Structure 1
Amino acid sequence: MSKLQNAIVGGVRAAMGYVPGSWLPGGTPDPLIDKRVNLGTQQSRVDGPDKVKGAARFAAEVPMEGLLYAAFVHSTIARGRIAELDIAAAEAADGVALVMTHRNAPKMALPPPIGLTNLKAAGNNILPVMQDAEIRWNGQTVAVVLAETQEQANFAASLVLVRYEVVAARTDFEAGKANARTPDSLMIERNRLKKGDADTAFKTAATVVDAVYRTPWHSHSPMEPHAATIRWDGDRLIVHDATQMLNGTAGSLAKVFDIKETQVFVSSPFVGGGFGGKALWDHQILGAAAAKLAQRPVRLVLSRASMQRLVGGRSQTEQRVALAADRDGSLLALLHHGYSVKPAHSVTDEAFTLTSRSLYAARSFDVVQHAIDLDLLANTFMRAPGEAPGTFAVESAMDELAHELQIDPIELRRRNIGHSDPVSGAPHSQSDLMLAYDLGAKRFGWERRPSTPRSRKEGEWLVGMGCASGSFPYVRMPGMSARITIDGDGRATVASAAHEMGMGTATVQRQHAADRLGLPLDSVTVRIGDTSLPFGSFAGGSSQTASLGAAINAASTKLAGELLRLAGNDTPLAGLRANEIEFADAGLRKIGDPSRHESFASILKRAARSDISVVGESSAPLEVLKFSMHSRSAIFCELRVSEVTGEVRVDRLVGSFDCGRILNPKTAASQFRGGMIMGIGMALTEETLLDERSGRIISASIADYHIPAHLDVPDIDVLWTDIPDPRTPMGARGIGEIGIAGVAAAIANAAFNATGRRIRDLPLTPDKLL
């Protein structure tokens, strides 16, 4: 099982009194796998028109009377104390209403850490927030300035003078390896894995590939900067936030300010990209504290530089991968060791070694990773956390092994694919990576790939092709809730504190609810995005679609029973039990007998009711107790490398995915392409530059931190197997993160095929290829 699966299941087992071996559910296929009208069809995003017209309000666009605007002053050292803090000039500047420092900030408790079994917590940086003079990382906020305009706040912030007592800081990755910790677990998954006799296998194998791969720090750079509009209404805190953790943010802020969770309202109907980074950081806490002091609403929009200093990203990694194989390429041993950074105040493991446990059926495994504690901003989740850097290392090593053995890279994978979980032996719920490879190879034209590197040239350009696999676990969160309301006209409204970050949540769940309730698509409305709605888990781990789908399913089951009870005896449904009816034609009917049907509107009218409303909750994800459940990708790349400049130009990408049933091809294709574009950035351009002398991030703008622009993105083709997973809601698994997994490796492998140079250190910049 994956780290997320194991974390969830651990809590589920404890809550249910589960005894190992006492019950392993086989799972019942969702009837919507075969009965679909709207699911599986192309539907445009329901939020699209409002976004195009500018009518969709994001966190920094909510109007409030008397707004003050915030600017942040960041520390310039990594470790030490504030010795002197002069705010007089800032306080005297035009328009300034408040300068908040540790001297006048209200008392605040530590934010509770993000927990996979505690969905009411969202903290990333588990440190005191402006409670003392201590400096714990370079970029920590030392002052917040509130003014009547953003420009006035920014100018006044530049007038704050700070002098520090500097303490020697630990900021060097290489030096930190000497004191690295070896945690017992990675997000509750066991860290150390030893299976079989890997040592002997490496000594006796016909072929061994053994190399070290490195990936740099990556910073979150979503289209919408982190932002919030905050006010206090008496002792009630109202936060309009850009977050992917609505209830986690509300629960955390309640703990920080020692108020009841019911006193915190968080709204986030639209988020301009999340990718794991839009949880609770210091800026929301500081904004709420400053609003309390000033007794006025506060708007804060982090600058790109402030985002880099206050919002963590993907940790730097160093990974050793060794593969031992016999002459036909069968894996005898897989070793995956390495280092990532996890400061003591961070809650996120960059669990890159988990990838190597699920993809290939090696006869023996030797897997462990170590955590380096540095005086830096906490790292956090970033699209396919762990799996993105992990697949770069493992899939680069597989390509190296294929080259050594002179075996086609796809054929090598075919010979080693796991037909059950390679470590636990659990059966796959549904898995067909090789079908994805076959479909993708045909679409891509893999047969044209030259087997000899550096053998295809077009002018100054060396042309190559490469492929790689990706993997991401299926996750479904317990406790996700949804309310279904049927009104007197027979229309349905589905409501949940779920999130819309650009992936099409409301669109797909509208399709789902319409099919589930036997309604036309235009008779269903979906409300999401604030904590007044039934409880929602976070949008992360590619879990939201399946989790919310399960909640809607549970609510529909309850709704059927309530409607049947409401119908009474004077109805075509009289005498029927819940298991004898189904939703159809905007009402209920007897299964197999369309003549015994009554509409929702008719039932409600006869009962003198204007509506009926029920809440359903997603059950514990017991399917992961028995089955190994992962989505897979087969990524293909064709690129060219200039012999003159070393420039890399990706010409084509094809992504072929095996991830259950696709619910909306239009929104799914967008998700896959978005992930693949992030993979291009990971492979070629993205690198957070850290001055290890001071711990300062020096690539603190989009000018310095390079994400792919339109001209960097080639033709991207996506396709999928569309095989339903029989043990998931709607037959679907999450797709938000699988798109990036394997892309960097496919690009690096194509660069090797083009040039004959093996680059094991991302990004693939021209200097490394010349």
Structure 2
Amino acid sequence: MIRLDTDSTDTRIVGKPVSRLDGVKKVTGAATYAYEHAPALKALVGVFATSSIGQGEILDIDVTAAEKMEGVRRIITYKNCIPQGKLDTSNANFTTRARPILSSNTINHYGEPVALVVADTFEQARDAARAVKPLYKPGQGNFAYSPESEIVDEEMAAAGFVGTTRVGDFDTGFAGSTVQVDASFETAMQLSQPMEPHATLAWWDGETLNLVTSHQTITNIQTSLEAAFGLSKERLVISAPFVGGGFGSKLAVHADLMGAAVAAKMSGHPVKVSLTRQQMFGLTGLRPWQQQRVRLGASADGRLAAIGHEALIYSNRNDPFVEQTATVTRSLYAAPHRLTRHQSFHLDLPNGEAVRAPGEMTGLLAVEIAMDELAEKLSIDPVELRLLNDTTSDPETGVPLTGRDLGECLRTGAQRFGWSERGAKPGERRDGQWLIGMGVASAIRFHFQGSAEVEVAIRPNGRIEVRSDLTDIGTGSYTILAQIAAELLGQQVEDIDVTLAHSSLPPGGGSGGSWGAPNTATALHRACLSLLERAGVSPGPNFIADVLKANPSGLMATGTIASSANTADWEAKSRHTYGAHFIEVGVHSLTGEVRIRRMLGVFSAGRILNPKTARSQLLGGMIWGVSAAIREAAEIDTRYGNIVNGDLAEYLVPVHADIPDIDVILIDRPDLDANPVGVKGVGELGNCGSSAALANAIYNACGARVHKFPIRLASLLPALHQH
């Protein structure tokens, strides 16, 4: 039974907090995830053995003992593995590259697969994998940045962004500014670590590869496997009905999928492979270590004259990725003189990939701290400084900014949060031994439009079905699509069946980058309008009966949306989502312990399809920002290239006690310049700026201005002596 939290006179369904249609299945265990699937023939299990050196080559590999162990069916190494194409680094899209495994004896980073053991049970495969004995010739790996590192100016960053932009004359504008900030920042390597591990079940039916996998995008898999195995889309049957989180780590093909496909081909049996939690630290992509330099120049009244934002990012040249960190500055604040630049250097560490809010999380952390430093130098309130430099036109291109509600987010948040109670100087507010501080940061996230196609059909049994290969990665895709179809066709949500995440369905573009909901919602909107036009019947209680009376076999319509590259005049406007974060913290004056007292996020992301699921996404993003600022870091042993804290026992994330009071305000205002539905993505917006708000709050509490993250206790102790 689905309950709609609405009054009886309101017939709208879109915009109401409808409970998740898949919620009962998930809490009762009826939702079946990739590793839990098995065809009629029982699946074998594959487990990887991984490298214990950070760079070098395998001279030989002894599998004799492992092969003799109970239940072992096959051991695959570089010596006998079938070909899987080549990793093409000229393909700028990291999500569609072929990623062969066990293809050579070269070790590119610690934890790389050296063998795949296939056995009857997981325990048998795991034990045999431990018995595999490689003989290594270690190389001289490079595992940390040094001044001698070769720096490369990048022409392009991730997501198709130009690597360097210049507007006006930054050097002259900055040098001539009355007040200047020149600050450098360092952020640690971080990982996605979704609750559901990366897992795939594979079996071959002749030349057709069948996959049930935990993945965010069906089309990415198809493109990657076409390059790896030469399989056409017709020879790939892919299903991902439930995905237990991804956060970017399931956008590209990884070792679990390739291992399952290879092992199934070589063994002639269905095979399932799941990465262990420890293996996920080296085999699923990560947010790379970065250094940033932010320079702000302003006049005495606080108006920015020059903005410079440069990012130095490690990128494994074998599978390159350059996070689009400096792009956040391009549309954020007005200033006539501007510079953004991305540079990279090589490390022998796991390759970088998109991690939730790629670019924005790290970029805003630096820019928004620098803005607070500028506010202090100018003796201007941090909220007022941001409002003073707000703009309605894109500072780099000059075109209009659509749905530009940054100012409203800041003003609404300041009023609701009680910003006027903030102490102007660090250490002014106390609660016993606790120093109390408040922090603020702006949020911005670019709006991405990709192609999508959706079918909506009235079936002969009287049900309405929505069909797309869009995945639901825990975000509520099943629910919001049912809401849209129900409202447009005059039905109830429980009258709609939503079928997702299979390669036989219309291509929906997948989930990630906050594009899943807006692109698919727009295509579905058009499909429903087309269905109404074809039916010639008005929506309402008798709609289905009237349609079936004239069309006994049912009726179907399709809706599409083109990518931004194929949309006329797309560059005539600049589309983003916006927000403002407010955080209050306590810093213990004796121990330096940081406790978050309350958090508020105010967000504008166009039309809100479902405030319940949107709020949940934003809460998760806000908490992740806290985690990035004071908890998360993959610690590298720079001698060997291994992640020392490569499990969830030591890779720290917040728990419930760390986040006592958190609230979200949604500004529900359709942005019809984004698409006909007026909806934009929210999934990553909550993680844009919350890290900076926390760092600014800590400074306001105790006077410790930190530029290296995550924040350590040692960074706070010197400032406490002043209080």
Q: Give the TM-score category using the shorter length.
A: over 0.9
Summarize the alignment of residues 663-674 of structure 1 with structure 2, pairs less than 5 Å apart: 663-674=609-620
- The residue number in structure 2 matching 1:650 is 596
Q: Say whether residues 1:602 and 2:557 are aligned partners.
A: no
Counterpart CA distance in 2 for 1:288 and 1:233 is 12
Counting aligned pairs with the same residue, the percent is: 36
Structure 1 range deviating more: 277-286 or 192-201: 192-201
* 1:108-145 C-alpha deviation (Å, 9 max, x unpaired): 113567979x8xx8346x65421221111111100011
Q: What secondary structure, in the 3-state scheme, does the structure 2 residue paired with 1:367 have?
A: strand
Q: Say whether residues 1:230 and 2:202 are aligned partners.
A: yes
- The residue number in structure 1 matching 2:112 is 140
Q: Is the 8 A contact 1:669 1:718 kept in 2?
A: yes
- The residue number in structure 2 matching 1:80 is 56
Q: What secondary structure, in the 3-state scheme, does the structure 2 residue paired with 1:690 have?
A: coil
Q: What secondary structure, in the 3-state scheme, does the structure 1 residue paired with 2:577 have?
A: strand
> Structure 2: which 5+ runs fail to align?
1-9, 718-723
Offset at residue 263 of structure 1 (A): 1.2
Summarize the alignment of residues 286-685 of structure 1 with structure 2, pairs less than 5 Å apart: 286-478=259-451, 480-488=452-460, 490-564=462-536, 583-586=538-541, 599-607=543-551, 609-621=552-564, 622=567, 624-685=570-631
1:758 maps to amino acid: R
Offset at residue 555 of structure 1 (A): 1.8
1:740 maps to amino acid: N
| Length-normalised TM-score, structure 2 | 0.94
Counterpart CA distance in 1 for 2:640 and 2:11 is 58
Q: CA 1:205–1:36 in structure 2 vs 1: closer, same or farther (change >3 Å)?
A: farther
* 1:511-561 C-alpha deviation (Å, 9 max, x unpaired): 111122222222222111211211121211111111111211232233234
Counterpart CA distance in 1 for 2:464 and 2:320 is 40
Q: What secondary structure, in the 3-state scheme, does the structure 2 residue paired with 1:333 have?
A: strand
Q: Say whether residues 1:61 and 2:33 are aligned partners.
A: no
Which residue, 67, 72, 82 being the options, matches 1:91?
Answer: 67
- The residue number in structure 2 matching 1:257 is 229
Q: What secondary structure, in the 3-state scheme, does the structure 2 residue paired with 1:731 have?
A: coil
Q: Say whether residues 1:50 and 2:19 are aligned partners.
A: no
* 1:194-220 C-alpha deviation (Å, 9 max, x unpaired): 211222222222111111011100012
| Regions of 4+ moved over 6 Å | 112-116
Q: Is the 8 A contact 1:346 1:380 kept in 2?
A: no
Q: CA 1:322–1:606 in structure 2 vs 1: closer, same or farther (change >3 Å)?
A: closer
Counterpart CA distance in 2 for 1:620 and 1:81 is 43
Counterpart CA distance in 2 for 1:273 and 1:247 is 18
Q: CA 1:100–1:759 in structure 2 vs 1: closer, same or farther (change >3 Å)?
A: same
Counterpart CA distance in 1 for 2:669 and 2:74 is 58
Offset at residue 619 of structure 1 (A): 2.7
Which residue, 647, 669, 672 being the options, matches 1:723?
Answer: 669
> Structure 1: which 5+ runs fail to align?
1-34, 565-572, 574-582, 588-598
* 1:27-69 C-alpha deviation (Å, 9 max, x unpaired): xxxxxxxx97101111000000000110000011113333211
Offset at residue 246 of structure 1 (A): 1.3
| TM-align CA RMSD | 1.9
Offset at residue 633 of structure 1 (A): 1.1
- The residue number in structure 2 matching 1:577 is none
- The residue number in structure 2 matching 1:106 is 82
Which residue, 637, 641, 656 being the options, matches 1:710?
Answer: 656
Which residue, 140, 144, 163 being the options, matches 1:191?
Answer: 163
Offset at residue 347 of structure 1 (A): 4.6
Counterpart CA distance in 2 for 1:759 and 1:501 is 34
1:376 maps to amino acid: L
Q: CA 1:186–1:36 in structure 2 vs 1: closer, same or farther (change >3 Å)?
A: farther
Q: What secondary structure, in the 3-state scheme, does the structure 2 residue paired with 1:185 have?
A: coil
Counterpart CA distance in 1 for 2:444 and 2:280 is 29
- The residue number in structure 1 matching 2:703 is 756
Counterpart CA distance in 1 for 2:672 and 2:557 is 26
Counterpart CA distance in 2 for 1:542 and 1:113 is 25
1:213 maps to amino acid: F
Offset at residue 338 of structure 1 (A): 2.5
Which residue, 204, 207, 217 being the options, matches 2:189?
Answer: 217
2:241 maps to amino acid: P
Q: What secondary structure, in the 3-state scheme, does the structure 1 residue paired with 2:402 have?
A: coil
Counterpart CA distance in 2 for 1:146 and 1:270 is 25
Counterpart CA distance in 1 for 2:370 and 2:177 is 16
- The residue number in structure 2 matching 1:29 is none
Offset at residue 92 of structure 1 (A): 0.7
Structure 1 range deviating more: 278-287 or 236-245: 278-287
Counterpart CA distance in 1 for 2:198 and 2:571 is 37
Q: What secondary structure, in the 3-state scheme, does the structure 2 residue paired with 1:307 have?
A: helix
Offset at residue 489 of structure 1 (A): 5.7
Q: What secondary structure, in the 3-state scheme, does the structure 1 residue paired with 2:625 have?
A: helix
Q: Is the 8 A contact 1:113 1:122 kept in 2?
A: no
Structure 1 range deviating more: 626-635 or 257-266: 257-266
Q: CA 1:41–1:127 in structure 2 vs 1: closer, same or farther (change >3 Å)?
A: closer
Counterpart CA distance in 2 for 1:253 and 1:259 is 7
Q: What secondary structure, in the 3-state scheme, does the structure 1 residue paired with 2:95 have?
A: coil
Counterpart CA distance in 2 for 1:114 and 1:541 is 22
1:705 maps to amino acid: Y
Counterpart CA distance in 1 for 2:541 and 2:399 is 41
Q: What secondary structure, in the 3-state scheme, does the structure 2 residue paired with 1:739 have?
A: helix
Structure 1 range deviating more: 747-756 or 303-312: 303-312
- The residue number in structure 2 matching 1:736 is 683
Counterpart CA distance in 2 for 1:380 and 1:367 is 21
* 1:619-652 C-alpha deviation (Å, 9 max, x unpaired): 3433632111110110000011122222211111
2:276 maps to amino acid: S
* 1:147-201 C-alpha deviation (Å, 9 max, x unpaired): 111111111111111111122222222346x311101122432222221122222
Q: Is the 8 A contact 1:466 1:747 kept in 2?
A: yes
- The residue number in structure 2 matching 1:690 is 636
1:63 maps to amino acid: A
Summarize the alignment of residues 256-295 of structure 1 with structure 2, pairs less than 5 Å apart: 256-278=228-250, 279-295=252-268
* 1:292-347 C-alpha deviation (Å, 9 max, x unpaired): 11111112221111101111110111001011111111001011112011222335
Counterpart CA distance in 1 for 2:547 and 2:647 is 59
Counterpart CA distance in 1 for 2:319 and 2:367 is 26
Q: Is the 8 A contact 1:254 1:263 kept in 2?
A: no
Q: Is the 8 A contact 1:549 1:729 kept in 2?
A: no
The higher relative CO (CA closer than 8 Å, separation ≥ 6) is in: 1
- The residue number in structure 2 matching 1:747 is 694
Offset at residue 98 of structure 1 (A): 1.0
Offset at residue 600 of structure 1 (A): 3.8
**Length, aligned pairs only:** 701
